[in-house]
Amino acid sequence: MKAIVTLAVFILCLAFATVSRAEIVTLGISTVGLYELPTEIAKRKGFYQEEGLEVRKIAIRTGIQVAALLAGELDYSTVSGIVSSASIQGLPLKTVMGWLDKPLHMLIARPGIKTLADLKGKRIAISSLNSVPHVAVREALAQAGMNPDKDVTFLALGGSSERVSALASGTADASPVDLAYIQKTEQMGFTDLLYLGDAVNIRLGGLGVTEDKIKKNPEQIKRMIRATLKGVRFMRPNKNETLAIMRDYLKISGDSGDKIYQYALRSLNEDGLVAKKTVDTEIRIAREQLKIKEEIPESKIFDWRFMKEIAAKK
């Protein structure tokens, strides 16, 4: 009996020592949402721990994620749009992994607004300028024959939760919100105008890092990607468990969970890359917004060396 107790204590101590040696990394999110669900799955299923990582997720407003990365306050950012925009403008940042080829946002509006045309003269809440929600709404408005620069006013207000509050208070008239919020917004009486994944191919989610980290800590990046990729690939074959995590993490219930899950699968890129059509759209939009005449090479935004190394070792 004494030997069994001693063995049990030894195992517990070993487990504690393993956890205590885990390398702490900080992961920036703009708000809790469907777009970063693979990272939550990876945390809960122990995929990061298997790679010797303790991932601490930090909610930081979209507009300051780049500054936080460059200052070393974040190791990684999941906010793909703002990282991409910074890369294109010459800041030393790269995207090393992607997982969604379409935005997981529903454009919602206050009661009385039934169509995109009804948004003329209205205020639309977004996370930040040039973010994925902002770009996606601009594309949708342009496709509907509107001028995004003249027909609406964009308000940079932060994550989906802040934007829903702005609609509730009347500060904004419409907003693209993470699909994780649609159960709540429908209960609040807001109108679902358009699923933005049907309007434009723009990636959402992924891992953005500094070029300095790429140089100094490539092994950590590979471990981070491997674990997150397990989270991405867990979703499709494990529907029931994924739905359970979604319901708990995103605070959703009933039939909404299955609907949101199906939207996610329509966008999911299980290779950890970004579809060519999505990359081309992203670069075209960036050139238009930033008034860049010259071609923008994919390598200015993405660094796929780690994904290629991981794929080669399958």
How far apart (Å, rounded) are the C-alpha atoms in residues 185 and 40? Answer: 23
Average pLDDT, the chain: 90
Q: pTM for this structure?
A: 0.82
Q: State the fold for domain 105-198.
A: D-Maltodextrin-Binding Protein; domain 2 (3.40.190)
Cβ proximity of 207 and 39 under 8 Å? no
SS3 152: coil
Tell me the per-residue pLDDT of 1-16, one tens digit each, with 9 for 90 and over: 444 444 444 444 444 4
> What is the DSSP-derived secondary structure letter of residue 60?
-
Of residues 63 and 169, more confidence is placed in: 169
CB 307 within 8 A of CB 274: no
Work out the number of other CB atoms within 10 angstroms of the CB of residue 131: 23
Q: What share of the chain is helix, strand, coil (3-state, %, to 5)?
A: 50, 15, 30
Question: Distance between CA atoms of 76 and 273, rounded to whole angstroms?
Answer: 16
Q: Can you tell me the distance from the alpha carbon of 230 to that of 213, in angstroms, rounded to the nearest whole number?
A: 22
- Specify the fold of 21-102+203-312: D-Maltodextrin-Binding Protein; domain 2 (3.40.190)
Inter-residue contact 275 to 201 (CB < 8 Å): yes
CB burial of residue 189 (10 Å; 0-12, 13-18, 19+) = exposed
Q: Work out the burial of residue 295: count CB atoms within 10 Å of its CB; fewer than 13 is exposed, 13-18 middle, 19 or more buried.
A: exposed
**Strand 191-195 versus strand 105-109 pairing type:** antiparallel
Pairwise CA distance, residues 136 & 308, whole Å: 29
Q: Give dist(CA 43, CA 35) in Å, integer.
A: 15
Element (H, E) at 224: helix 218-234
Give the pLDDT band (50/70/90) at residue 255: confident
**CB contact at 8 A, 180 and 260:** yes
User: Domains of the chain: which residue ranges?
Assistant: 21-102+203-312, 105-198
Q: Looking at this protein, which amino acid is placed at residue 64?
A: I
Residue in 128, 15, 116 with CA at minimum distance from that of residue 81: 128
What is the pLDDT, as a whole number, of residue 63? 84
**Nearest residue to 36 via CA among 223, 232, 184, 275:** 232
Per residue in 70-93, pLDDT (tens digit) is: 999 999 999 988 899 899 999 999
What average pLDDT does the segment 22-37 reach? 93
Pair 97, 307: CB distance under 8 Å: yes
Residues 268, 66 contacting (CB under 8 angstroms) = no
pLDDT value of position 241: 97
Give me the phi and psi of 99, to 5 degrees please.
-150, -5
Q: What tokens were used for 284?
A: 């075209």
Q: How confident is the model at residue 165 (pLDDT cuts 50, 70, 90)?
A: very high
Do domains 21-102+203-312 and 105-198 share one topology? The answer is yes
User: Residues 182-220: pLDDT tens digits?
Assistant: 889 999 999 999 999 888 888 889 999 999 999 999 999
What is the pLDDT confidence band of residue 314, given thresholds at 50, 70 and 90? low
